[in-house]
């Protein structure tokens, strides 16, 4: 059985995701070079940081091209927080910087009433728009997850939204299309429910491997 690869792009919450996988006894490997991807059955791109910095490193290291090829081949991919945002065409955080362009649209900055602080930091609910999404197995609707972000993916019929969250506006907090899944929240920081998301992703990738 091949491992789950966690892409290291030199910033963010790499350690906490790796530790969560270790706690769950999931076979995982931190990827420092794109050629290590051949050892993997699935990829996770965790993220905390700036859109431009992330994409610059992914492009320079070769991980951007490798990730696009991986996704195009139909193999399992999970983006977390910034790892969700870079799947889009671009972001208001970094005008002129292209994302991976897996999903249409531009990531937006929160523009909210003064009583709502930006960034959103803390626990919030996720409403399951598509309860059959494999990430939500054994997770109740409106479960709480931990968020830290100033930018968001707008809810749209052009985007394969799996879950939404209300923070002054209703925005996309989980997406799922074929082999690609991504969440705006941090499962590795969301206690039991978040760990269930990572466990669900691993179980789903094993099933995908058995089918292929």
Q: Judging by DSSP bridges, how do beta strands 3-7 and 28-31 pair with one another?
A: parallel
Cβ atoms within 10 Å, residue 4: 24
Q: What confidence category does residue 13 fall into, taking pLDDT thresholds of 50, 70 and 90?
A: low
Among residues 81, 92, 133, 149, the one annotated as catalytic is: 81
| Burial track 111-143 (b if 16+ CB lie within 10 A, e otherwise) | eeeeeeeeebeeebebebbeeebbbbeebeeeb
In whole angstroms, give the CA distance from residue 154 to residue 150.
Answer: 13
Contact 168, 112 (CB under 8 A): yes
The question of whether 188 is a catalytic residue gets the answer yes
Among residues 21, 54, 149, 186, the one annotated as catalytic is: 186
The question of whether 81 is a catalytic residue gets the answer yes
Return the structure tokens found at 149. 């972000």
pLDDT tens digits for 122-149?
Answer: 999 999 999 899 999 999 999 999 999 9
Longest pairwise C-alpha distance within the chain: 51
pLDDT tens digits for 57-109?
Answer: 999 999 999 999 999 999 999 999 999 999 999 999 999 999 999 999 999 99
Q: What confidence category does residue 150 fall into, taking pLDDT thresholds of 50, 70 and 90?
A: very high
pLDDT tens digits for 171-211?
Answer: 999 999 999 999 999 999 999 999 999 999 999 999 886 54
* pLDDT value at residue 207: 84
SS (HEC) of 79-111: EECHHHHCCCCEECCCCCCCCCCCCCCEEEECC
Among residues 21, 54, 149, 188, the one annotated as catalytic is: 188
Q: 3-211 — its CATH code?
A: 3.40.50.880
């Amino acid at each position: 059985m091949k491992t789950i690869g966690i892409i290291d792009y030199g910033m963010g919450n790499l350690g906490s995701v790796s530790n969560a996988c270790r706690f769950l006894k999931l076979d995982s490997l931190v990827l420092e070079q794109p050629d290590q991807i051949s050892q993997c059955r699935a990829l996770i791109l965790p993220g905390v940081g700036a859109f431009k910095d992330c994409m610059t490193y992914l492009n320079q290291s070769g991980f951007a091209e490798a990730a696009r090829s991986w996704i195009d081949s139909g193999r399992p991919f999970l983006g977390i927080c910034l790892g969700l945002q870079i799947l889009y065409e671009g972001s208001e955080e970094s005008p002129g910087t292209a994302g991976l362009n897996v999903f249409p649209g531009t990531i937006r900055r929160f523009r909210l009433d003064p009583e709502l602080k930006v960034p959103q930091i803390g626990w919030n609910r996720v409403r399951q728009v598509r309860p059959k999404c494999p990430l939500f197995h054994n997770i109740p609707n409106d479960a709480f997850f931990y968020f830290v972000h100033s930018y968001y993916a707008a809810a749209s019929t052009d985007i394969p939204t799996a879950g939404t969250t209300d923070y002054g506006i209703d925005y996309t907090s989980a997406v799922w299309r074929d082999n690609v899944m991504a969440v705006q929240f941090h499962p590795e920081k969301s206690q039991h429910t978040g760990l269930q998301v990572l466990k669900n992703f691993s179980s789903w990738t094993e099933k995908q491997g058995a089918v292929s």
